[in-house]
Structure 1
Amino acid sequence: MGAGDDSSFFLYGMGEKPEALTLGSLVLEKYWKPMVARHYTHDLLGDDALREHAYSTNIKDAVLHGSSRLTPSVGLEGGDIVNLNLAYNKDLERIVVAEKGTRVILKEYSIFYTALKCSCSDDAFYSPESFLTTNVLSDPRAQQKLKLWLSAANSAYVLNFKFARRPKIWMLTGLYLLEEARTVVSRGKSVGISTGVSSSIVGALSGVPVGGFVKLGVESSWQMAMQVSEPHVWAAQFRLLDAQFIKMGKGGVDDVKLPASMGLYRDVMSVNTARGGGSQSIGLGLEDENRPEQMEESAEEDDQDSPELEEYEKRLEQAIKVFETAPKHFLQ
């Protein structure tokens, strides 16, 4: 398998079942913990829908290396290594080796046909944003989750918090589904790793049992952490939702430029019960670009261990729980 520019993918420490991490799934705030954070899991696409909306590439002998640009990388390179970002625990390096698998990513609009102003139907073109509007937001379960999260985030209780900001909601747009996977984690200073070491890693892993160690260089120690035979999702790509809060006027939401919109619940946490009561809406789309630095900037702004992030998430979670338990007539 040839290395590709997959720096917008994040490698996880444990694989997840294919039905757990699916295209179109949504995660609130913690994309590095997609099954622990509040999330919506989109239905697994059937074969026909998968061919319609996504590009799939079968791969063999995959070597995925996960590191974080927030800490020095060991600099693994090679024709059979794909360098990804590390989803969690930036103090470690991680390598996943798999006998085979599939790389799946949502289709983008065809620039070629768009430039030629092709007379084809608009339905012939696909993008993550069109998938969001036509597939995800058309599902009542996704609508309910988003309406709940966004209403809570727009409540007086959260907005009056010192570190309040727009909530970060991520949509899964790509994944690596691997079979017969083995993962190793660095246990020391990996300065001894150098360019062209990929074949050494693969060869060294072949006879190491789970829990055993591989020595690569003077100060480099790698531990065999896990072996999973069944197909699991080991890496995922996300796009940040562009959520814009709107005060609705006489013209409704006609001036909203985003492709979709929905009303919000009444703010049951405000002393002024009229706040947001039927007059608040949210415009929904995706951020324009799928840039890996966007997520790195997000990780730096919201450090995974920062007290500010913990306090914001705690307050947002408290608000969501209030909205979940409030009588329905209070929310209208």
Structure 2
Amino acid sequence: MLISIQALRALAAWTVVCHHFMQIFFDFHPQGPIGEFFSTRGQVGVDLFFVISGLVIYLSTHDKPQPPRRFLLNRALRIVPAYWFYTALMGLLLISAGAYMPHGEVSWPTFLLSLLFIPAENPGGYGLYPTLNVGWTLNYEMFFYLVFSLVFLVPRRFRPLLVAGVLFVIVEGVTHWGGLSRFYANNIVYEFVLGIGLGVAWRRGWVRSGRYWPLALIVLGAVTIYRLEPNNRLLDWGLPCALIVLGCLALEPWFQHSRWLKALGDRSYSVYLVHLLVLYAGYFMTQQWGVGPYWVFFGFCVPAIACVSWLSYELLEKRLYQRMKAWALRKPGQVAVPLA
């Protein structure tokens, strides 16, 4: 477990939280430089997620040969239950209190397609977003897992090239020929390949630990993100994010004994899933009770997101995942052993 990457995963999640706070409460009309940063740059947390995802999936499967079906099942058990749960909650919220919410509508076709990770036009008319809006990134994640599952069919040394080649054919060819949704004609998916490349470098010992040069890389990546508009998402934000991830890898010896950073990273997926629901609740408070948005954010939303994500991780992500994995991977005739 790379603690530095866990810390970066937590930072990415909370950056997205701040971005959506600016969207829901201020409609991206920032007040001050910090608000402007999170309004215009907060979505870079997604690019960090994608680079990290490629890195983690490569490292976690490098020495674990397995059938593609087993890999996909394991990833589905890890991702799906919590996502379906919060998608259902968001659907209920949109049905019962949609009139009080600043964004989003729901319909049965969109809801069902959301559960299946199939991109579809949101009935609100603002793009290819599922019922739980942040799920658009999970559509890319599941697509990446599907492509990555092919690597177990070829020798280890060919795996990064296979993933890169298949993604290139799909993004630059299949989507333009009409064989797949235009949603996938986005070079943001190559950020997974950047993560795989970093994983290869880490496994081969090419990433040397240090202090000053990794910090310089992180600063360079952050300044580049701050200065560049994402006209080309891969080049303007993807590559700088890869530099930040590389810098954190090189700083791993300084992070590796931090339990609280690991805990923050462990809960980042739940933070990502629950934060919109909490922010909408906070927005309702500002509209009904006239309290200030920043007071609501720091006094209610941040503590609520932290608490709910902790419960979500313990109950949905960890405990339910362990039970479902034990059940799904149990051999025929084998008696399930109760988990403590």
TM-score normalised by L of structure 2 = 0.24
Hey, which of these two has a bigger chunk of strand by percent? 1
Hey, which of these two has a bigger chunk of helix by percent? 2
Who wins on radius of gyration, i.e. which is larger? 1
Structure number with greater CO (CA < 8 Å, separation at least 6) is 2
TM-score normalised by L of structure 1 = 0.25
